[in-house]
Structure formats: C-alpha cells, structure tokens
Amino acid sequence: MSNYNLSIVVVTRNDNHGLNLNERTNRFIDSCSYMSLKHKVFIELIIVEWNPPKTNDSLDKLISGMLPNNNQYLTTRIITVPPKIHDQFKNSKNLNLFQMIGKNVGIRRAKGEFVLATNIDIIFSDEIFINIKRGFNKNTLYRCARFDVPEEFAFQKKPELLLNNCKKGFRAINSRFGTYKINEKINKRFLSRMSLPIKIKFLILLFLIKRSFSYFIKLFNLKKLFNLKKLFNLKKLFNLKKLYFFISNLFFKKNSNKVGYLKAHILNCLFFTNACGDFTLMDRASWNDLKGYFEFPIYSLHIDSFLLFQAFYKKIQIKNLSDSVIFHIDHSLGSGYSIAGEELLFSNLKKKKIPYIDYQEYIRIVNKIKMNELLPEEGWGLSKHYFKESVL
C-alpha cells in the first residue's frame, strides 16, 4: 500500500504565465504544506515542468526556495518534460504547454492511493483535507465548487491569514449551476459570519432563486403582461420562436453556437464540469482505468470536462463535496478562461492560430464518448518515456 494518502498533480513552466506566476505557485505550495501538516495527511506533490524555457531557471531551482522546512507529511517531485518531447506534438510551435498531456504524465507516475488533478493557483480549504483524512470511496470521482479571489492575494505569505482572506474576500463562485459574481457589501457584512459549508449552500441557493426569478420575468414578459391591449394576446406572449431564442440566450453570450452552448450548459449542470480542471479527484486505479485525459495537442478548454463523461459511461460515480471549496487566485485576463476574459482569450487564440474546442465540437465529442467511438491512448501519460525527476 502507498505511503501517501494523496498525490496532487499540477503542470507549469517558468514563463510568468498569467502574471505573478511565482507568487501564485508559492501560495499553492504553502497551502499544500500548511494543510498537510495541520491535518497530518501525507501528500505527494507532483509538479510536471512542461517544455521549460531555455532562458529561465528550471523549476527545481525555483521551487526549492519555496518549500518549507521540516514537513514530514509533504514530498515534492518535479518531473521535467523537455522541449524535444514537446516539439514532437502538432501545434507545438504555437502553444508552449499541453496542460492535459502534462497532467497525464504526473497522474501516470503518481504513487498516492488517491490522485487529485488541479492547478498551481489553487488554495485549499480545511474542509477538503477533513474529507481526505476521513477517507474517500474508490470508483468515485470527486468534485467541489471553486471560489475566485483577487490576484493581489498572491502576495499574502502567511497561509493561515491567506485562507482567512479567501473566506472573506472571494468575489465569484463557480458551482454546478454556473459562475456568478458576489456582491462585495453582502459578502463583508453578511456572508462573512457564516461557516464555509453553510456559505456554499446558501450562495448556490441564492443564485438559483435570483436566476429563476430573473428568467420568470423575462419568459413571461411581466412588464407587458398587464398591458390591457396585449393581455390576451397569447400568441405573442408565448411565441415559440422567441421562446426558443430566449432559452438559448439565457446562459450564453452572442457569437456563440446557441444550441451547442445551451446543451453544454445543461451538461455542466448534470455533470458539474464547471471549473473541473481545478479539482478532479479519484483513486489511482480509476485514473488508470480511464487512461487519464484525452491527449489532444490543442488549447486545454473543455478537455478536462470530457473526463467526467468518460467516468460516467465507465460506471464511475460522480460525487460533489458539497461542504468543501477550493479558492482560485485570479490571473491576468485572457491568460485562461474566465467570463470577464472570454472574448480576449478567444481573440488571442485566433491570433496565435491555437486550435481549441468550440461548443459544436464539444457536443460531438460527448456523443462520441457516449457511443464508445472515442477512446483514450493506451500509452497515455507518455508512459514509454523516461523523464528527469527531482525529489525535494
């Protein structure tokens, strides 16, 4: 049996992606160390260094200065995937990092009983580690909500103080039902008094009530409902074409495939794919059974979601840790997916000729997974390759 309760796998390179990368990485490592020591959970932290820039320091030099001393519960492994491997992939000249292939490299080589795939700008809550200490079920994929915090939080060096700031100062929540912003005044005056598990459930309930009420007003056009001239004009009130376009525009912005976008949102609600790349946890045997993520050499958008559909059709249970949350330190707009930076991200991808999966393709791939027409690679995680590894 493994000596590690959990392997945590992330992928990065020392290129200051998203700005303040070193600070965000430092806070992530601090969080792993702080939680492992506080809750006495043995962690193997696997950092996959993908295609390191030749002009910058390697991660083993960089991260060795970030690691705290005298923590017997944390072991850090840095696995380096060199440029010559990266260059073998299609689109390698336009895209410096293949995130999901890199995660597969770490997952395939993990030694923990359970493996968590996440990212280097995540801060863990106590509830996550309480659940880890309590124990997880095998043949189960675990998810949780993500709360977003301002990027300046990356400069808070004390883990305990950072965690308290995250609990009080988050500004958006990514839940099963969508992503929405939190009113700062409400957060400071009211939500700050709640415990985190109650806060999570309250926010999701509040969001659903607000959204349902908003949709009701739009759907039945209440402003015109009491106009006597149109009160009995049911054909206009329930115009099916307008209703269709209204529904397909409920969740999504312009210039998107409306039908595909709507289906994608419904699937998100059913499978909780929203921000799943920041927290996907399974036992190591289940990861091996699924053969990790699909290794498409493109921008990583949606690839993390497909794993949940793979799990579902492999009879792996999908469970939400409703009492737990992770915090995400925001990065610069356009450097990753966010609602505010969506247009900038897609504009940058098109300029750099980096392919990504749109909503039409998303639905097609989901259908292929359902019909067992798309299978992962047998050699997933670059299993035939030996990589340089540093243990810190």
Torsion of CA 247, 180, 329, 160, to 10 degrees: -140
In total, the chain counts a number of residues equal to 392
Residue spans of the domains in the chain: they are 6-176+272-391
pLDDT at 153 exceeding the cut of 50? yes
- How do residues 246-274 score in pLDDT, each as one tens digit? 554 554 444 445 566 777 777 888 889 99
pLDDT band, residue 189 (cuts 50/70/90): low
- What's the CA gap between 194 and 201, in Å, rounded? 11
**pLDDT at site 97:** 96
Tokens of 270: 């059913």
**pLDDT at site 130:** 95
**Mean pLDDT across 24-47:** 96
- How do residues 59-78 score in pLDDT, each as one tens digit? 988 888 878 778 999 999 99
- What's the CA gap between 67 and 69, in Å, rounded? 7
pLDDT at 55 exceeding the cut of 60? yes
**Mean pLDDT across 123-134:** 95
pLDDT at 228 exceeding the cut of 50? no
Task: Look at strands 172-175 and 114-117 and give their pairing.
Answer: unpaired
pLDDT band, residue 1 (cuts 50/70/90): very low
CA Rg value for the chain = 22
Torsion of CA 162, 272, 365, 88, to 10 degrees: 20
Q: Identify the residue whose tokens are 């493994």.
A: 2
**CB-based contact 333:139 (threshold 8 Å):** no
Report CA torsion sign: 304, 366, 97, 345: negative
391: exposed, middle or buried (Cβ count in 10 Å: 0-12, 13-18, 19+): exposed
Residue-wise burial string across 344-373, b where 16 or more C-beta atoms lie within 10 A, e elsewhere = ebbeebeeeeebbbbbeebbebbeebeeee
Tell me the C-alpha to C-alpha distance, in Å, between residue 154 and each of 14, 121, 267, 275: 16, 9, 33, 20
**CB-based contact 85:55 (threshold 8 Å):** no
Q: Identify the residue whose tokens are 């000596």.
A: 3
Tokens of 217: 């007003």
Under CATH, which architecture does the 6-176+272-391 domain have?
A: Alpha-Beta Complex (3.90)
Lowest mean pLDDT among 199-213, 275-289, 334-348: 199-213
